[in-house]
Amino acid sequence: MKSRAWILVMLLAVTAVPVWAATEIKFYYPVHLTGPLVKEIEAYVADFHKAHPGIRVEPVWGGNYWQNMQKTVAALQAGNPPDVAVHLAIDVVTLRDLDAVIPLDEFVQREGGEKLLGDFFPGFVSDLKADGKVWAIPFQRSTPILYYNKDLFRKAGLDPNKPPSTWEELLATAQKATVRDASGQATQWGLTIPDDPWLLMSFILQNGGRTHSADFKKVYIAEKPAVEALQFWVELANKHKVMPRHRTFPESVQDFAAGKTAMLIHSTGNLRFVRDSAKFEWGAAFLPKNKRQAVAIGGAGFFIFKKAPREKQEAAWQFTKFMTSPEIQARWNIGSGYIATRKSSFELPLMRDYAAKLPQVLVARDQLPYALPEMSTHDNQKVREIFRTHFQEVLDEKYTSEEGMKKAQAEMEKVLAPYQK
Amino acid sequence: MNRMAEPKFPASVVTATRVVGARERVRSRRRVMALARPYLYILPTFFFLFIFTHYPILKTFYLSLFKWNLATPKREFVGLNNYLQAGSTPLFWQVLQNNVLYAVGTIPISIALALGLALLINQKIRGLAIYRAALFYPTIIPMAAAAMIWLWILTPSYGLVNFYGKALGLPDIHWLGHSRFALWALVLVGVWKRLGHYMVIFLAGLQVIPEHLYEAAILEGASPWQRFWRITFPLLSPTTFFVAIMAVIDSFQVIDQVYLMTQGGPGNNTNLFIFYIYQNAFRFFDMGYASAVSGILFLILLGLTVLAFGILQRRVHYA
C-alpha cells in the first residue's frame, strides 16, 4: 500500500514538473503500420526538442487516417482541438467546412513564399490549396505503384526486368503468372489490388476519366471512362480470374510478401514492409497506362488549427517546418516508403545512398509528373463510403458496372445536394 | 353588557397539546425518514445511472429531432424527419436484415451449445477445472485479440481453415471477404466468443437445483432423459430466460467484431446496427441521423425485451 502511494507521488512529480517557459503544442498524427512508424515519428519529435528547447510537442497517435480525423473532429466539438495535426489532403474541404484550420500563406511568405513551395513536388502542393490559399504543408504523401515478384516472373517464363506498362500487358502478364490447380482454382494470383476506391481512381484517370470537380461539389463516376475502368477491373477478377475479388490493404500486402501473388498494386507507403518481409527478388514500376499515364495521389499534410492561440500557432509552424524539411523528409521516405515531399531530399547523401542500394524507392518519385489529385468532395467520408460499397457490390455481381456506378453517382449527388449553392 | 368571557383552557391541557404536537412532529419526521431511506440508499447508484445511461438516452431522442451534420453545422429542428429518412433508406433495411440474420444465427446455437456444455461439465469427471477453464477462456480474452486470431485463421490461401480445408479437397474461400459467407463467419466467431459466458451462467443455475429431486427421481426409475426434461429444464428456466434476453441484446449490440474484422464489408454485407450508428455518428459526423437510428435500436430492444417477458415469463418456473 505504502509503496503504491509512493509510486503515485513519483508519477505525479514526473508528470507535474513543467518545462518552464516552454510552449506546449498537441500534435495528432496517423500512421498505418503502427510499431515501427510510431517510433520513427517519436524520434523526429525528440530531435525537434533538441533543436527547439522552447517548444514541447506532445505527439498523439490517432490510428489510421480517418480514425485520426474522427479524433480531431471529436476534439473540435469538445472545444479542445489539437494545435497541429496531419490529415488527408482530401480533408481540406471538411476542415474548412468546420472552420477549424487557418491558411498558412503568411508563414509560407515569411520563409520565402514560392521559394519554399517550389522545392515541394507540385502535385503535392496543388491539392492542399483551395481558394488560392495554402491550407497545409505536404507530408506523408504516396501514390500507388506496381510491385512485382521477379522470382515468380521467372518461374512463369516472363522477363523479370520487363513489368507490364499497359492495361493489355497487365492482363496478359497476370494470365501467365496465375497458377491454377487441377480444379481450375488459382493457387497463385497473377495480380492483387485492394478493392478500395483509391486504387480504382487511378484506373479511371488512366482511362482518360475524371472523378470530381475543382469546387468539390460534383462527382463524375458514372461517366463512360469511369465505367469502362471499373469494367476492366471486374473482368480481371471475374472473367479472367487472375485477381482475387476482395482484398484489404493489409491482406494484399501480406499475400505479396508470402509469394501468393506475382504482382501487387499498392501504396508506396508499404515499401518498407515489402523491403523488410519479402524473401525474394522484387521490383517496382509505374502503374500501367491505358489512354494516358496517370496515378491518383494519396496522403496528407500538416494543418494548423484556428483555435490555438497565436504563440502556439507559431510553435506549430516551427514544428511543421521541421517535419517537412528536406532532411526529415528523406528520413521519413527511408523509414516508411512515403515519398519525400521535397525535391532537395533526393539530393541528400542519406537518400542517395539508400536509393543506390534500393533503386525501387525512386519509382514513386519518377511517377509524380503523372500524378493527379484523388477524388475530393464535401462530406468526403460519406461519398467515399458510397463509392466503396457500390464498387464492391459490382465486384460481387450484384449490379453491372454501369448500374453500380449510376446508383453510386445518384447517392453521392444526394449527399452533395446541400452544397450546391 | 358583560364581555364574553374568553374560553380558558387549563394550563395542563395546553402543555399536553404541545407535547403531543411535538411528538407528532418527531413521529412524522421519522416516518418521512423511513420513507426516504431507501431512496437515499439508491441515490448514488441512481446518480451514476442517470448521468451515464438515462440522460444519454433522453439526449439521444432529443438530438434525433434535429438535422445536425457537416452540411448543417448549426443544428436545425426537423421533427421526425430523421426517422422518416431511415425508413426510406435501403441501407437501413439492409442493416436491420443483416442484424436479424446475425441474431438468428447466434442466439439458438450459442444457447443450445452453452446448455449442453454446462450439463457436461456439471458432472464429476477428472480434470474438470481444465475443461471449465478451456471453455470459459474465449470470454476472457478481449475481442480485439480474438479478432486478430480469427482474421488469421480465416485468411484466404494460407489461413488455418483454408489450409486444412484444401487438404480435404474444399475450395479456397475468402471467408471474411465473400458476400455470402462473411456474415456467417462473424456468426461463428460470435458464438465462439459468447459460449463460455452463457455456459457459466447455466452452470450456476444447474448447481442450485436440489440434489434430492434427482435422488427421488432415480428411486422412481426415471431415465436421464426424463430427469432432464422433467427436473433440470423446468427448474433451469429462470436461467434460460435470463440468458435468452442477454443473447438478444448481445446480438444487437455487437460492434467490435464488425469493426475489427470486416468494417461492414464486402459491400454492406456485414454492416450491423451499432456499426451503422458508429459510421454515421463518427465517420460522417451526421449526429441527428445517428441519434434517430440509435433511438430505433433502443425501441427495438425494449420491444423485444417486453415481448420476451410477456411470452416467456409465463413458462418460467421459480423454484
The dihedral region occupied by B77, where left means phi > 0, alpha psi between -120 and 50, and beta the remainder, is: beta
Q: What is the pLDDT of residue B195?
A: 93
Q: Examine residue B30 and state whether it is found in any structural domain, yes or no.
A: yes
Q: Which CATH number fits domain A20-142+298-373: 3.40.190.10, 1.10.3720.10, 3.40.50.300, 3.40.50.280?
A: 3.40.190.10
Enumerate residues 60 to 99 of chain B having a beta carbon within 8 A of any beta carbon in chain A.
69-73
The dihedral region occupied by A140, where left means phi > 0, alpha psi between -120 and 50, and beta the remainder, is: left
Neighbours of B166 (CB within 10 A): 16
> What's the grid cell of residue A57?
510537442
**CB-CB under 8 Å, B174 with A398:** no
Give the β-pairing of A84-88 and A23-29: parallel
> What's the grid cell of residue A10?
513519483
- Give the CA-trace dihedral at B95, B97, B100, B105, to 10 degrees: -100
Name beta bridge partners: A141.
A299, A339
Question: Quick one: CA dihedral B35, B38, B42, B43, positive or negative?
Answer: positive
**CB-CB under 8 Å, B71 with A385:** no
Residue A19 confidence (pLDDT) above 50: no
Chain A residue with minimal CA distance to B180?
A396
What proportions of chain B, in percent to the nearest 5, are helix, strand and coil? 75, 0, 25
Give the β-pairing of A133-134 and A129-130: antiparallel
- Residue found by looking up cell 475468402 in the block: B174
Angle (nearest 5°) at CA A364 between A212 and A290: 55
Task: Please give the CATH architecture assigned to the domain spanning A144-296+377-419.
Answer: 3-Layer(aba) Sandwich (3.40)
Residues B51 and B197 in one domain: no
Q: How far apart are CA A141 and CA A42, in angstroms?
A: 19
Residues B89 and B42 in one domain: no
User: Max alpha carbon distance in chain B (Å)?
Assistant: 126
Q: What is the pLDDT of residue B312?
A: 75
Do B178 and A397 contact (CB within 8 A), yes or no?
no
Chain B residue with minimal CA distance to A418?
B71
Average pLDDT (A78-84) is 92
Q: What is the pLDDT of residue B309?
A: 84
> Residue B192 burial (CB < 10 Å; 0-12/13-18/19+)?
middle
Interchain CB contact of B165 with A (< 8 Å) = no
Query: Which residues, at least 6 apart from A31, have a Cβ–Cβ distance to it below 8 Å?
Result: A37, A38, A41, A61, A64, A140, A336
Q: What is the pLDDT of residue B4?
A: 47
Residues of A in contact with B268 (CB under 8 A): 389, 393
Chosen from A385, A386, A412, A414 to mutate, greatest number of chain B CBs within 10 A? A385
User: For each of chain B's 319 residues, which pLDDT tens digit applies?
Assistant: 444 445 555 555 556 566 666 777 777 888 888 888 888 999 999 999 999 999 999 999 999 999 998 888 888 999 999 999 999 999 999 999 999 999 999 999 999 999 999 999 888 888 888 888 888 989 999 999 999 999 999 988 788 998 888 888 888 888 898 888 999 999 999 999 999 999 999 999 999 999 999 999 999 898 989 999 999 999 998 899 999 999 999 999 999 999 999 999 899 999 999 999 999 998 899 999 999 999 999 999 999 889 888 887 777 766 5
Report DSSP state, residue A263: E
Residues B58 and B93 in one domain: no
Interchain CB contact of B171 with A (< 8 Å) = yes
Q: What is the pLDDT of residue A4?
A: 62
Residues B27 and B111 in one domain: no
| CATH number of the domain that residue B133 is part of | 1.10.3720.10
Residue A33 confidence (pLDDT) above 70: no
Please tell me the pTM assigned to this model. Answer: 0.85
What proportions of chain A, in percent to the nearest 5, are helix, strand and coil? 50, 20, 30
Residues B98 and B51 in one domain: no
Chosen from B275, B285, B287 to mutate, greatest number of chain A CBs within 10 A? B285
- Helix, strand, or coil here: A145? strand
B174 vs A244, A388, A389: nearest CB = A244
Chosen from A95, A188, A260, A382 to mutate, greatest number of chain B CBs within 10 A? A382
**CB-CB under 8 Å, B285 with A195:** no
Distance of alpha carbon B317 from its chain centroid, rounded? Answer: 22
Q: pLDDT band for position A13 (50/70/90)?
A: low
Enumerate residues 27 to 56 of chain B having a beta carbon within 8 A of any beta carbon in chain A.
none
Interchain CB contact of B163 with A (< 8 Å) = no
Q: Examine residue B262 and state whether it is found in any structural domain, yes or no.
A: yes
Give the β-pairing of A261-267 and A282-285: unpaired
B71 phi and psi, to 5 degrees?
-75, -25
Residues B230 and B175 in one domain: yes
Number of domains in chain B: 2
Query: Which residues, at least 6 apart from A108, have a Cβ–Cβ distance to it below 8 Å?
Result: A116, A117, A134
Per-residue pLDDT reduced to its tens digit, A106-134:
999 999 888 899 999 999 999 999 888 99
* Domain residue extents for chain A: 20-142+298-373, 144-296+377-419
Q: Examine residue B238 and state whether it is found in any structural domain, yes or no.
A: yes
Q: What is the pLDDT of residue A209?
A: 96
% of chain A at pLDDT higher than 90: 79
Interchain CB contact of B110 with A (< 8 Å) = no
Q: What is the pLDDT of residue A2?
A: 52
Residues of A in contact with B279 (CB under 8 A): 385
Distance of alpha carbon A400 from its chain centroid, rounded? Answer: 29
Query: Which residues, at least 6 apart from B74, have a Cβ–Cβ distance to it below 8 Å?
Result: none
Do A103 and A45 contact (CB within 8 A), yes or no?
no
Residues B50 and B91 in one domain: no
Residues B96 and B59 in one domain: no
Domain containing B185 equals 84-315
Q: Examine residue B72 and state whether it is found in any structural domain, yes or no.
A: no
Q: What is the pLDDT of residue A17?
A: 46
ipTM score for this prediction: 0.81
Residues B52 and B159 in one domain: no
User: Max alpha carbon distance in chain A (Å)?
Assistant: 74
Q: Examine residue B134 and state whether it is found in any structural domain, yes or no.
A: yes
